[in-house]
């Protein structure tokens, strides 16, 4: 239940999807504020563990072959574009190859002979594995229809490369990783 902002429910009020999302959003915001106030004490994110560049074999290798070790990973990302400050990476998640051509969790590309900023943000996707029967009311015909529909939205991360530092709206990983930058001087082709 939210503390900072609560819905003003009125007797006999019809409850619609935006009302329910408002309740969920209020609870998420309370948690975000709690983490910021008691844990990070900043508007920047914080890596609890994980999200390190795998350096074995990286020196002299192609930049698009670098790997980001995400397991075991835990992030407190206050300024993510999706609410839900805390993200836990499931145990056993393989390292993420930092190459957008082979990894859907990565976008952008390294720029040779330049400082490259690695950024991280949250996304949500509808998980078809959570399908369950739902009941839909049709007020026009006064009938109820049943169908199977996904019931959950899952929080995930996306990794992006940029040649320039990003503004706050992109939730830069450079802040989260304490200014992680990679300079490519002689990339292999």
Taking alpha carbons only, the member of 65, 73, 175 closest to residue 119 is 175
What would the pLDDT profile of 124-140 be if each residue is shown by its tens digit? Answer: 889 999 899 988 888 89
What would the pLDDT profile of 72-84 be if each residue is shown by its tens digit? Answer: 888 888 777 777 7
Domain boundaries, the chain: 1-41, 44-183
What would the pLDDT profile of 46-69 be if each residue is shown by its tens digit? Answer: 778 888 888 777 777 777 788 888
Q: What is the pTM of this model?
A: 0.69
What would the pLDDT profile of 96-126 be if each residue is shown by its tens digit? Answer: 988 889 999 988 877 777 777 777 888 888 9
Yes or no: say if 117 and 165 are a contact pair by the CB < 8 Å rule.
yes
Measured in whole angstroms, how far is the alpha carbon of residue 154 from the centre of its chain? 9
Task: Let me know if 98 is exposed, middle or buried by CB neighbors in 10 A (0-12, 13-18, 19+).
Answer: buried
- What is the β-pairing status of strands 143-162 and 106-107? parallel
Calculate the alpha carbon distances from 108 to 116, 117, 145 in Å: 10, 11, 44
Place of tokens 């229809």: 145
What does pLDDT average to over the chain? 77
Report the pLDDT value the prediction gives residue 167, as an integer from 0 to 100: 52
Residue 180 pLDDT more than 50?
A: no
Place of tokens 């996707």: 125
Residue 7 pLDDT more than 90?
A: no
Distance CA 49, CA 87 (A): 11
């Amino acid at each position: 239940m939210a503390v900072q902002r609560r819905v003003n429910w009125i007797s006999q009020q019809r409850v619609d999807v935006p009302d329910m999302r408002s309740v969920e959003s209020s609870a998420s915001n309370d948690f975000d504020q709690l983490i910021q106030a008691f844990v990070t004490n900043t508007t920047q994110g914080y890596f609890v563990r994980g999200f390190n560049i795998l350096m074995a074999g990286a020196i002299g290798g192609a930049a698009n072959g670098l790997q980001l070790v995400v397991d075991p990973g835990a992030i407190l990302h206050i300024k993510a574009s999706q609410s839900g400050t805390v993200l836990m990476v499931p145990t056993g998640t393989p390292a993420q190859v930092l190459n957008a051509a082979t990894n859907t969790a990565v976008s952008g590309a390294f720029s040779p002979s330049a400082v490259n900023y690695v950024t991280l943000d949250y996304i949500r996707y509808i998980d078809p594995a959570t399908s369950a029967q739902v009941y839909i009311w049709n007020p026009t015909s006064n009938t109820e229809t049943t169908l199977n529909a996904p019931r959950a939205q899952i929080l995930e991360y996306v990794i992006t490369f940029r040649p320039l530092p990003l503004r706050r709206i992109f939730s830069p990983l450079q802040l989260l990783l304490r200014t992680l930058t990679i300079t490519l001087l002689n990339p292999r082709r």
